[in-house]
Amino acid sequence: MKFLSNAGAVLSALAAKNPLELDAVIAAAYKRPRVILAGMGKSFLVSQFAARMANSFGLPWSPMDVASAGHGDAGLMHPSDLLIVISKSGEGEELLKFVRWMQDLSIVAICTNRESRLVVLSDCAVILDVPDEHSLHGHAPMTSSIAFLAVLFEVINRVAADSCSEEQYLSLHPAGSIGDKAW
């Protein structure tokens, strides 16, 4: 139960934290027509899940695999987009090369390393205090991945609150148990 206790403690600390960093991300997301969530490895999987959750509220958010961005996938990005980059260390060379390449965009970092080069290259950052992943051998970003999702879900909820009524939400879900309620 160490993992669950640690994840719970990280999320509790996040909820008690001064929300100014989070408010800046939410304000930036409101101002942009589209949000791109980028990550490498496990952080990309977090970005995929969060982007799909945002889509379910009618928000035009897209995931971006940093590894594929330099091979044409970055073609979907536009200077008016907000780029949210998710990384545990904020120090991966491929990630940093991508961020330097995207400097014409507004960039937000969600990271666990306050001193990272990613944070330095970003316009604003949400820093998560994850002292221990409590994963087997301590290396897999399990607790940080949950914390990244929690931050992104908070942003999604607050951005969608003004633009997605329950009726609209239900209309976007014609299948499954949600669709059964709507139709």
Domains, in order of start, for the chain: 2-182 (3.40.50.10490)
Exposed e or buried b for every residue in 164-173, given b needs 16+ CB within 10 A? beeeeeeeee
DSSP string, 14-54: HHHS-THHHHHHHHHHHHSS-EEEEESTHHHHHHHHHHHHH
Q: What is the pTM of this model?
A: 0.93
Range name among 13-17, 57-61, 97-101, 174-178 with the lowest pLDDT average: 13-17
Q: Does the structure show a pLDDT above 80 at 116? A: yes
**Among the listed residues 114, 95, 110, 98, the one whose alpha carbon sits nearest the alpha carbon of residue 152:** 110
* Predicted confidence (pLDDT) per residue in 84-107, tens digit: 999 999 999 999 999 999 999 999
